[in-house]
Structure 1
């Protein structure tokens, strides 16, 4: 049994096709097939059911793939240990970022990071949290930036910053003339939300869970972008909530519709998350430091109440 054979098994398990898997690991399809067959003969078991289209793992194959992933990760740690000892920060690094963080945070730190660590070859994907967790567990991402706490087994979380929720309330709305708004004044039925899959939407729903909503729902819309929600809000179709960093780039006319919350300010925790195997920690630590340095000047709130994308609430004091 070889590490190379296990790499081939993982590629076929991911792509469910021998040809695509061979292309992924840069070998010919006959070479990949032969090596997997040799492994199956050595173990005296079938890993893949080749009679299914697409190819499926056998029940034993599923257990083998789980263990193969652990072995491959541990083998990668050898090079990782050497890199850390040498102080080398470089190589390919696959990063996932949730859609409600990508457009605001990425432009803030990407240039600084690239200039400081030119040997790191970043591969960045915009993904919803569910896809991020799956890819982290399967080893297809090295780290991700997502709203936390998630409390998922095998995934570590390193908080980057706490980002307050901000109300976007047009003049036609009942709360527009409030200096600061209170969570208890929110009505989930007149808040324009992001569509399903966005954890920021889940955070808003958790924020409003204890708030009584009106019995009559006159209008409900879910959109994929904050820009659309702002435009609809300006048309008098309701208010919306925005993450603080998103408000920094609004037009001046739109900024007049922003309302902060009374203390403790509801906020989301944004973290670097990664597999417990802690591969490429030198790059993860470097990224954390760069992000912390740029966000420090943009967010200076204290006494925030963390609204989880799951079900928890945690009061935290934010100190920079």
Structure 2
């Protein structure tokens, strides 16, 4: 049994196809198949049910894959131990970011970080919070940036910043004449929301503290992007809420429609999160310092009230 064989098993389990798994691991399909077959013969079991399309794990195969993932992860951590001991800041680092943070935050820090730490190869994925938690626990991510608190026993949270919510109120709306708004002014029936699955949406609903469901007779609409929500709001279909960083690059015509909250302003907590057993702490600390340094100049709000993304 070798680490390479276990990596091939994990690749097939993830891709459910021998050809795609071979491409992902940069070997020929016959080589990959032969190595997995040798492992199955050594263990005297069948890991994959090859008669199914797509390929499925057998019951014992599921247990093998779980153990193989632990072994491969631990083997890769050997280099992390050496790097940490030497203080080396480099190598591959896989990071996930939620969709409502990535478009605004990533351009703010990425160039600074890569210039300062050129030996780090960042691999960045846009992922929903549930996917981030799963990938962190399985060792597929080294760290992530997400709205917190998440209340996960195995995950460490380091707060990067508190980002206020900002109202976007179109002309003619019942709140258009207000200079500032409060959470009591909000009504889910005329509030355009992100689609289900976004933690920012959950935070907005928690802010409204509404027990009732939507009952707008004309339409029910949820979108995957703030840009779409702004366009619909401009058409007079309702107001929406935006994260503060998203408002920084809006044109002047849209800035006039922004309404800030009375203090304490509702805000979300955004954190750098990682497994409590993570060893690449030299890269995590470097990433934290760069992001925190950049964000201090962008968000000056002090008096905020944190709205949890959890339902």
Per-residue deviation at 1:217? Answer: 4.4
Determine if contact 2:214/2:220 at 8 Å carries over to the other structure: no
String of CA shifts for 1:241-278, please: whole Å, max 9, x gaps.
Answer: 00000111111121121111122221111122223431
- Aligned residue in 2 for 1:294: 294
- Which stretch of structure 1 is more off in the superposition, 273-282 or 15-24? 273-282
Structure 1 counterpart of 2:269: 269
Question: 1:72-91 counterparts in 2 under 5 A?
Answer: 72-91=72-91
Give the C-alpha shift of residue 83 in structure 1.
0.7
Work out the CA distance in 2 between the residues paired with 1:93 and 1:189.
43
CA positional deviation for 1:24:
1.5
Alpha-carbon shift at residue 214 of structure 1 (Å)? 8.3
Q: Contact 1:187–1:212 at 8 Å: present in 2 too?
A: no
Q: Secondary structure at the match of 1:260?
A: strand
1:66-110 residue CA offsets vs partner (Å, 9 max, x unmatched): 122112111111100111111111112222222211111011101
Deviations 1:150-197 (A, max 9, x none): 223533322211111111112311112223211111100101111223
Instruction: State whether residues 3 and 72 of structure 2, in contact with CA within 8 Å, keep that contact through their aligned partners in structure 1.
Output: yes
User: In the alignment, what sits opposite 1:71?
Assistant: 71
| Local SS of the residue matching 2:175 | coil
Residue aligning to 1:159: 159
The normalised TM-score by structure 2 is: 0.93
Structure 1 regions of 5+ residues with no counterpart? Answer: 312-320
Between the aligned partners of 2:192 and 2:152, the Cα distance in structure 1 is: 29
Tell me the alpha carbon deviations over residues 261-314 of structure 1, each in whole angstroms, 9 at most, x when there is no partner: 122221111122223431422212211110000001111222322222212xxx
Q: How does 1:65-214 map onto structure 2 within 5 Å?
A: 65-210=65-210
> For the structure 1 residues 238 and 86, does the alpha-carbon distance in structure 2 shift closer, same or farther, using more than 3 Å as the test?
same
Match of 1:41 in 2: 41
Stretches of structure 2 lacking an aligned partner (at least 5 in a row): none
Partners of 2:124 and 2:216 in 1: how far apart?
43
| Corresponding residue for residue 3 of structure 2 | 3
How many Å separate the matches in 1 of 2:25 and 2:216? 57
1:318 maps to: none
Offset of 1:216 from its aligned partner?
4.9
Bigger Cα displacement from structure 2, 37-46 vs 241-250: 37-46
Q: Is the 8 A contact 2:97 2:145 kept in 1?
A: yes
RMSD (Å) for aligned C-alpha atoms: 2.0
Q: What is the distance in 1 between the residues matched to 2:294 and 2:174?
A: 36
Of the structure 1 ranges 107-116 and 198-207, higher mean CA displacement relative to structure 2 is found in: 198-207
Moved over 6 A (4+): 211-214
Residue 13 of structure 1 and its aligned partner are, at CA, apart by 0.9
Q: Using the alignment, how far apart are the partners of 2:150 and 2:301 within structure 1? A: 22
